[in-house]
Structure 1
């Protein structure tokens, strides 16, 4: 497939994978999947724009906490709740202390176990509380913070799909995207998100980039643990990484407030 065609198909696949945007995915193969995972941070930044708009709009109409709760709900709707579902399934599997196929079987179950419930409640509470605090900042800073966090969450997926990371199953999203992202694409995405983060904390231009880098370091540790326990990555693991990184970046942007 020509480079332009592959990039265009990758951008469409990224939109359909990470949002509810009614875009035809077009051709899907590993080359296209690799382009889509490289585009993931850009899609996250685009997603952050309407979420920041929702937060700032409802902050003028109601309390910051209510505005934050609505923003979290809209975020779940715009992503079909897939990342939250992946978080719950991944935590249930890792919390079971089982390995390999036994752990993967837990991830396939339609119910959510106690570990997954606790993880969902904790992540949603922290994100809502963080957004409520961010709503009190200047509008440009709040906008930059939300866009940074959502972009960084998807950069975590780019990191998880880098070369050398295996899939846990021979089929599914993990098998399609595992090992498809090269070092140049990963470095480009990381630099872009770090630069975006500079404006997220007024008066402390270093804090946003540091929050992103620390969150990615935690994601790398989670990724290694998942590969050791599950044998590789799955779509659920990618969803879990999105939510973990997003939440940690929100926390990092609020330190010393």
Structure 2
């Protein structure tokens, strides 16, 4: 893969000059060293009491995910390790480990644990057998940062782009205690991808449009996979998997889903 860019990074939004002035178009966070609890990604930190910090609570969520058909052991370990309640508003923490989406502000939501796990497992299934970790991953739509934290335990490097300044700042604050040095947050137009980090082994999106943006396909490595919601001809959203093969693209349309619409520009 190409050498990763240094940080802080600069999003090239010259083609979007009318959207926002340059002085708010440049932002990235590169969290530094892992904490002692996170020194070995994939291992669950020690439980703290029997409340929402308890490994037992997350363990019940993981068991439910396994019952729902999620089988990848590293993914289940990551879902059990990342404390979802730290990514939702305090008034909603009691619902953090229920299989439900929750509002995170600015008209956006944190996806259900089952949806997060399902999409990441599809991404993992597109990787080479025997690989210890996924390669470089691009996440479009950071939201509150929860999925980026899970991906950070499964991929060698994660670039996550958010177009809403308020959510970008929230995700940065939420992720700071996890100290995932391989997770990079970017403020910019996710429809344009992030060419400086390409090629990507995987691209995952938390918003659905009418088609997969060409920029994502261009930035995907041969052998890589895109997992994203997309609007079908019937006007409904479905989960779509795009594999980039030597001979071209392979599209697979899976189950119906409901995500916020994919939008261009920043706000």
Query: TM-score when scaled to structure 2?
Result: 0.30
Structure ranking higher on relative contact order (CA contacts 8 Å, 6+ apart): 1
Point out the structure with the larger strand share.
2
Point out the structure with the larger helix share.
1
Query: TM-score when scaled to structure 1?
Result: 0.31
